[in-house]
Amino acid sequence: MADECFAHPRLAAVYDPLDPDRSDLDAYLRMAEEFGARRVLDIGCGTGVFALLLAGRGVEVVGVDPARASLDVARAKPGGERVRWIEGDATALPPLRMDLATMTANVAQAVVAPDAWHGTLRGAHAALRPGGRLVFETRDPARRAWERWTREDSYGRTDVPGIGTVEHWHQVTDVDGPLVTFRTTYVFAADGAVLTSDSTLRFRGREEAEADLAAHGFTVDEVRDAPDRPGREFVFVARRPDA
Ligand SMILES: C[S@@+](CC[C@H](N)C(=O)[O-])C[C@H]1O[C@@H](n2cnc3c(N)ncnc32)[C@H](O)[C@@H]1O
């Protein structure tokens, strides 16, 4: 049930306008530069914001996501033809030799089932050249971010060009150990449609993620802070060791 909103065409169409501040991606752009990445695999690329930023800088990009509606939005954007888009996940990729694999905007948390998570790490490792890096973020469970996912704290009202006013908010519906399920509600003023989407996220601690990375043959070079969300996220910089 992870992230249904990315699979619904009407919701995929408002994903970018409802979240226009993508300064979270600046740190990833800097890392791509820092690591001299010329070929990047963006796992869970969604509507392609990061993939297209990279492609605009001359980087060869493969974007993979299971949500077709999001990929349709990505493909239709200016420059969409510069990226190789794959509908699916990292468990079944064609042969690749990438310098860098990324999972931006907490994609790692959307990979909920243990099999899917281990398959994702296995697939990312196989897609990297020796010495290539995997970079992703995950929310620090100790900060209990879900406690602020209430209607009161998350309510927004956004005018979307061509679509009209959209009201939107999150509400947690279940917390079960590391799994947090929440409902996002969207109200479209243009026709009064009320759409809801249920998502489940897995909160993994730093040690758990580091152990999982090691189990799949990665070396964890560093765990950084997300500069735009200090103290709230772990940003893992893992490397496929040189052969
Ligand atoms: C919060 S969005 C982030 C999208 C994009 N990375 C960004 O920065 O805008 C999470 C994305 O993870 C994708 N996703 C969910 N499960 C996945 C999986 N097993 N493998 C890859 N992507 C997945 C969803 O379809 C969705 O597009």
Residue 100 burial (10 A CB sphere; 0-12, 13-18, 19+): buried
- Tokens at residue 104, please? 């931006």
Ligand 1 centroid distance, CA of 222 (Å): 23
Overall average pLDDT of the 158-187 stretch: 97
159, containing H or E segment: strand 156-160
Q: Across all residues in the chain, what is the average pLDDT?
A: 96
Decide if 135 contacts 28 (C-beta within 8 A): yes
Give pLDDT, residue 1: 43
pLDDT score for 5: 66
pLDDT digits (tens, 9 = 90+) for 22-79: 999 999 999 999 999 999 999 999 999 999 999 999 999 999 999 999 999 999 999 9
8 A C-beta contact, residue 50 and residue 108:
no
Region 226-236 average pLDDT: 95
Identify which of 1, 3, 5 to mutate to test ligand 1's pocket (most ligand atoms within 8 A of the CB).
Answer: 3
DSSP state of 101: E
Categorise residue 153: left if φ over 0, alpha if ψ from -120 to 50, beta otherwise. alpha
DSSP run (H or E) holding 148: none
* Mean pLDDT score, 98-120: 98
Output the CA 197–ligand 1 centroid distance in Å: 14
Compute the distance from residue 45 Cα to the ligand 1 centre, in Å: 6
DSSP of 161-215: TTTEEEEEEEEEEEEETTEEEEEEEEEETTT--EEEEEEEEE---HHHHHHHHHH
Which among 77, 107, 199, 228 is the best mutation to test ligand 1's pocket, defined by most ligand atoms within 8 Å of the CB?
107
Residue nearest to ligand 1 atom 13, measured at CA: 44
Residue located nearest, by CA, to atom 20 of ligand 1? 89
For the stretch 180-206, pLDDT in tens is: 999 999 999 999 999 999 999 999 999
Residue nearest atom 1 of ligand 1, based on CA coordinates: 105
Of ligand 1's listed atoms, the one at least distance from the Cα of 70 is: 27
Ligand 1, residues at Cβ distance < 6 Å: 2-3, 6, 43-46, 49-50, 65-67, 70, 89-90, 104-107, 110-111, 116, 120
Q: What is the pLDDT of residue 6?
A: 74
Q: Classify domain 5-140+203-239 by CATH architecture.
A: 3-Layer(aba) Sandwich (3.40)
Q: 0.85 cut: is pTM over it? A: yes
For 37-52, the pLDDT digits (tens) are 999 999 999 999 999 9
Contact between 223 and 234 (Cβ < 8 Å)? yes
| Helix residue ranges per DSSP H, the chain | 9-18, 26-34, 49-55, 68-75, 107-110, 114-127, 151-154, 206-215
The rounded Å distance from CA 43 to ligand 1 centre is: 7
Domains of the chain, residue spans: 5-140+203-239, 143-201
Segment 127-153 mean pLDDT: 97
- Does the pLDDT value for residue 86 go beyond 60? yes
How confident is the model at residue 4, as a pLDDT? 61
To 10 degrees, the CA torsion angle through 76, 80, 81, 85?
-100
Backbone torsions φ then ψ of 198, nearest 5 degrees: -105, 135
pLDDT at 7: 72
Tell me the β-bridge partners of 176: 179
**Nearest-CA neighbor of 168 among 153, 152, 187, 182?**
187
Q: Calculate mean pLDDT across residues 81-109.
A: 98
